[in-house]
Amino acid sequence: MSTLIYFFLTLKLPVLLCKLVFPGCPVSWTDYVCRDGDLMISAFLPLYTHQTSQHSKGPEDTIIHPQINANNYQFAIALTFAIKEINRNPLLLPNASLGYCIYTAGPYEKQTSFSFLFWLTGEDKLIPNYTCRREEKYIAAISGTTWEISSLLGIYLGLYNYPQLTFGTFEPNLNDPVKFPSLYQMATNESSLVLGMVSLMVYFRWNWVGLIISEDEKGVHFVSELILELEKNSVCVAFMEMLPVMNVHYIVEPNIIQNRIEASTAKVIICYGDTESSLGILFRIWEHILPWRIWVTTSQWEVFTAMKHLFLDSFHGTLIFSQHHGEISTFKDFVKTVTPSKYPEDIFLARLWEIYFNCPLSHASCKSVENCSYKGSLEWLPWYYFEKAMSDGSYHVYNVVYAVAHTLHKMLLQQIDMSAVKNGERMKFPHWKLNHILKNIQFTNPSGDQVNLHPSEKLNVEYDILNFWNFPQGLGYKVKVGTFSPYFPPGQQLSLSEDKIEWSTGVRETPTSVCHESCVPGFRKSLQEGKAVCCFDCSLCPENEISNGTGKYLEQCVKCPDTQYSNTERTRCLQKVVTFLAYENPLGITLAGIALCLSLLTVLVIGVFVKHQNTPIVKANNRTLSYILLISLTFCFLCSFLFIGQPNTATCILQQITFGVVFTLAVSTVLAKTITVVLAFKITMPGRRMRGFLKSGAPKFIIPICTFIQIIICGIWLGTSPPYVDTDAHSEHGQIIILCNKGSVTAFYCVLVYLWVLSIGSFTVAFLSRNLPDTFNEARYLTFSMLVFCSVWVTFLPVYHSAKGEVMVAVEVFSILASSTGLLSCIFIPKCYIILMRPDKNSLKAMRDRVRWK
pLDDT tens-place string over residues 691-747: 554 555 556 778 888 889 889 988 899 888 888 888 877 777 778 888 888 888 888
CA distance 520 to 552: 10
Inform me whether the pLDDT recorded for 673 exceeds 60.
yes
Helix (H, G, I), strand (E, B) or coil at 358: coil
CA distance 524 to 820: 53
Q: What is the pLDDT confidence band of residue 271, given thresholds at 50, 70 and 90? A: confident
The domain made up of 29-189+328-341+383-454 has a fold known as Rossmann fold (3.40.50)
**719-723: Cβ within 8 A, 24+ apart:** 720/744, 720/747, 721/747, 722/653, 723/652, 723/653, 723/655, 723/656
Cα distances from 242 to residues 51, 246, 288, 404, 826, in angstroms, run 22, 12, 21, 38, 93
CA distance 768 to 124: 137
Of 15-19, 40-44, 846-850, highest mean pLDDT: 40-44
Domain spans, the chain: 1-28, 29-189+328-341+383-454, 342-376, 523-575, 588-724+743-853
Inform me whether the pLDDT recorded for 221 exceeds 80.
yes
Give the pLDDT score at 8. 38
Question: 284 near 259, Cβ under 8 Å?
Answer: no
Inform me whether the pLDDT recorded for 59 exceeds 60.
no
Mean pLDDT value across residues 122-148: 74
CA distance 838 to 821: 23
Question: 488 near 470, Cβ under 8 Å?
Answer: no
Give the pLDDT score at 601. 92
CA distance 2 to 7: 9
CA distance 322 to 320: 6
Give the pLDDT score at 686. 52
Cα distances from 500 to residues 33, 383, 497, 503, in angstroms, run 43, 20, 6, 10
CA distance 187 to 191: 12
Give the pLDDT score at 518. 78
Question: 13 near 31, Cβ under 8 Å?
Answer: no
Q: For the residues of 669-680, what is the DSSP string, one character each?
A: HHHHHHHHHHHH
Q: What is the pLDDT confidence band of residue 483, given thresholds at 50, 70 and 90? A: very high
Q: Give the model confidence (pLDDT) of 590-623 as tens digits.
A: 999 999 999 999 999 888 888 888 887 777 777 8
Inform me whether the pLDDT recorded for 114 exceeds 90.
no
95-104, 331-340, 595-604, 804-813: least confident range: 804-813
Inform me whether the pLDDT recorded for 584 exceeds 80.
yes
Count Cα neighbours of 550 within 13 Å in the Cβ-side half-sphere.
Answer: 9
Give the pLDDT score at 25. 66
Alpha-helical (H) ranges within 612-648 are 616-620, 623-638
Q: Give the model confidence (pLDDT) of 745-766 as tens digits.
A: 888 888 888 888 888 888 887 7
Question: 184 near 211, Cβ under 8 Å?
Answer: no
Q: What is the pLDDT confidence band of residue 680, given thresholds at 50, 70 and 90? A: low
Of 21-30, 77-86, 688-697, highest mean pLDDT: 77-86
| C-beta atoms surrounding 679 within 10 Å | 17
Inform me whether the pLDDT recorded for 651 exceeds 60.
yes
Mean pLDDT value across residues 539-566: 78
**H, E, C per residue of 835-854:** HHHCHHHCCHHHHHHHHHHC
Burial 29-65 (b: 16+ CB within 10 A, else e): bbbbbebebbbbbbbbbbbbbbbbebeeeebeebeee
* Widest Cα–Cα separation across the chain: 169
Q: What is the pLDDT confidence band of residue 258, given thresholds at 50, 70 and 90? A: confident
CA distance 366 to 387: 26
Say which DSSP state 506 is in: T
CA distance 237 to 207: 8
| C-beta atoms surrounding 109 within 10 Å | 12
Give the pLDDT score at 78. 93
Taking the complete model, does pTM exceed 0.75, yes or no? no
Q: Give the model confidence (pLDDT) of 386-411 as tens digits.
A: 778 888 888 999 999 999 999 998 88
Write phi, then psi, for 796 (nearest 5 degrees). Answer: -60, -45
Mean pLDDT value across residues 4-28: 43
212 torsion bin: left (phi>0), alpha (psi -120 to 50), beta (else): beta
Q: Give the model confidence (pLDDT) of 734-744 as tens digits.
A: 788 888 888 88
Mean pLDDT value across residues 473-485: 77
Cα distances from 482 to residues 271, 302, 553, 602, in angstroms, run 19, 20, 27, 88
- Which of 225, 198, 390, 377 has the alpha carbon at shortest distance from 296? 198
Alpha-helical (H) ranges within 270-340 are 278-284, 308-314, 331-337
Question: 571 near 549, Cβ under 8 Å?
Answer: yes
Q: What is the pLDDT confidence band of residue 87, given thresholds at 50, 70 and 90? A: very high
Average pLDDT, the chain: 77
Inform me whether the pLDDT recorded for 553 exceeds 50.
no
Question: 308 near 316, Cβ under 8 Å?
Answer: no
Amino acid at residue number 321: F
- Which of 115, 89, 166 has the alpha carbon at shortest distance from 392? 166
Of 145-154, 414-423, 769-778, highest mean pLDDT: 145-154
Q: How far is CA 416 from the centre of its chain?
A: 63
Inform me whether the pLDDT recorded for 311 exceeds 50.
no
Q: What is the pLDDT confidence band of residue 254, given thresholds at 50, 70 and 90? A: low
Handedness of CA 807, 809, 814, 819 (dihedral sign): positive
Task: Give percent of the chain above pLDDT 70.
Answer: 76
Amino acid at residue number 608: V
Inform me whether the pLDDT recorded for 280 exceeds 60.
no
20-29, 200-209, 248-257, 466-475: least confident range: 20-29
Say which DSSP state 361 is in: B
Give the pLDDT score at 484. 92
Mean pLDDT value across residues 495-499: 88
CA distance 807 to 805: 5
Run of H or E residues at 405? helix 392-414
Give the pLDDT score at 527. 77
Spatial neighbors of 343 by CB under 8 A, at least 6 apart, are 33, 80, 349
Helix (H, G, I), strand (E, B) or coil at 497: coil
Run of H or E residues at 654? helix 649-682
Inform me whether the pLDDT recorded for 771 exceeds 90.
no
Mean pLDDT value across residues 546-560: 70
- Which of 541, 543, 544, 551 has the alpha carbon at shortest distance from 573? 544
Look up the CATH number of domain 588-724+743-853: 1.20.1070.10
| C-beta atoms surrounding 698 within 10 Å | 15
Burial class (CB in 10 A: 0-12, 13-18, 19+), 848: exposed
Q: Taking the chain, what is the end-to-end CA distance rounded to the nearest angstrom?
A: 152
Q: Give the model confidence (pLDDT) of 621-635 as tens digits.
A: 778 888 888 898 899
Amino acid at residue number 18: C
Helix (H, G, I), strand (E, B) or coil at 248: coil
CA distance 249 to 540: 56
Alpha-helical (H) ranges within 726-828 are 745-768, 779-802, 806-827
CA distance 479 to 501: 8
Run of H or E residues at 668? helix 649-682
Give the pLDDT score at 325. 83
Handedness of CA 372, 378, 379, 383 (dihedral sign): positive
Handedness of CA 605, 608, 611, 614 (dihedral sign): negative
Inform me whether the pLDDT recorded for 514 exceeds 60.
yes
Inform me whether the pLDDT recorded for 579 exceeds 70.
yes
